[in-house]
Amino acid sequence: MQFIDLAAQYQHLKTKIDKRIQTVLDHGHYIMGPEVQELESELASYVGVKHAITCANGTDALTLAMMVLGIKEGDAVFCPTFTFFATAEVIAFEGATPVFVDSDKATFNICPVDLEKRIQATIADGKLIPKAVIAVDLFGLPANYPEIQKIAEKYNLKLVEDAAQGFGGEIDGKRAGSFGDIATTSFFPAKPLGCYGDGGAVFTNNDEYAELLKSYRVHGKGKDKYDNVRIGMNSRLDTIQAAILLEKLAEFPTELINRNKTALDYEAQLSSKYKTPQVPAGYVSSWAQYTLIADNRDAEMASYKEQGIPTMIYYGTCMHEQTAFKELGYKVGDFPIAEKLAKSVFSLPMHGYIKTSI
């Protein structure tokens, strides 16, 4: 049994993907070829936004968002402590300071109540200027954007949605990637919508942001790539990856149905034994991972291994416990819910082609 069965997905889509790749090999436009523009149009339509701008990977997508928003030294950007390192890394990379926030115990996502407390504490401290919030759609479930948006507006903060895991998720019919001022995703192979390498995208309804994104991703270009009007970066999606993603995006709604069937199957089998993930009313999860809570995680994972069932831990170390952020002065106990999650969560196989029950 595979944790994420990319081989099964490829076999299902082989003829279409191979044809797409051959088309790219035939026309030879490997960088920013026509498939890139086609994908951006399809992504924008699927998510429900005016603009989708592709880039080289999900971390670059977040970095581009920080650049567009003008995040800089002296700024505070609020983000969950229970997340992948890139969420906080991109804040520090711009010279700003990540201010970590505890998790919601029901959804594992950033806690709106703790978020407001951290914002108020930062304002009272007076050392940093609150500028933005990065909310992460953890394990496929969109964060609580109705509440987070209210808080962001109350304190005049920009809101960034990190939909790397949440792509395909929804709140009241509004799709992940369409929340906040700007949103990002990753096409890393293990993500709900993944390519065969690295890739990413940024989503926005803001025309000015879209033009800046297009400039920043190609060395800060102006009218062409040799007219550089600002300091940018080199972050373009390869045409072959765009071609692959076009076929995967077409199949994605069917895969989401299968992922949700698997999640329901897991719930029926495992809810009496573990704390299973719950999807709030009005929400849809894309089930990037199916994550359980167990008091004796190591023993549970060992038991699954004996049965030939792979498991993974997302995430075993919170951001405030990372060596790279030790100078921020956080200590054990500052984020009790997130710290408990880091010690007790583990994930089971989840993809659109599972045929065997646990």
* Cα separation, 241 vs 287, whole angstroms: 23
Fold match between domain 6-102+109-247 and domain 253-348 = no
Please report, for the chain, the start and end positions of each structural domain, with discontinuous segments joined by +.
6-102+109-247, 253-348
pLDDT computed for residue 160 by the predictor: 98
**Which pair of tokens denotes residue 203?**
């989503």
pLDDT computed for residue 358 by the predictor: 66
Of 3.40.50.150, 3.90.1150.10, 3.40.50.720, 3.10.110.10, the CATH number of 253-348 is 3.90.1150.10
Q: Which amino acid is at 128?
A: L
Q: Are strands 129-136 and 182-186 parallel, antiparallel or unpaired?
A: unpaired
pLDDT computed for residue 1 by the predictor: 87
Contact call for residues 132 and 157 (beta carbons, < 8 A): yes
Structure pTM? 0.96
Contact call for residues 288 and 139 (beta carbons, < 8 A): yes
Cα 158–314–11 angle (5° rounding)?
100
Q: Minimal CA–CA distance to 162: which of 150, 173, 148?
A: 148
Contact call for residues 239 and 35 (beta carbons, < 8 A): yes
Rg of the chain taking only CA atoms, in angstroms: 20
Going residue by residue through the chain, which has 358 residues, state the pLDDT in tens, using 9 for 90 and above: 899 999 999 999 999 999 999 999 999 999 999 999 999 999 999 999 999 999 999 999 999 999 999 999 999 999 999 999 999 999 999 999 999 999 999 999 999 999 999 999 999 999 999 999 999 999 999 999 999 999 999 999 999 999 999 999 999 999 999 999 999 999 999 999 999 999 999 999 999 999 999 999 999 999 988 999 999 999 999 999 999 999 999 999 999 999 999 999 999 999 999 999 999 999 999 999 999 999 999 999 999 999 999 999 999 999 999 999 999 999 999 999 999 999 999 999 999 999 866 6
Query: CB atoms < 10 A from the CB of 231, how many?
Result: 9
pLDDT computed for residue 357 by the predictor: 62
CATH T-level fold of 6-102+109-247: Aspartate Aminotransferase; domain 2 (3.40.640)
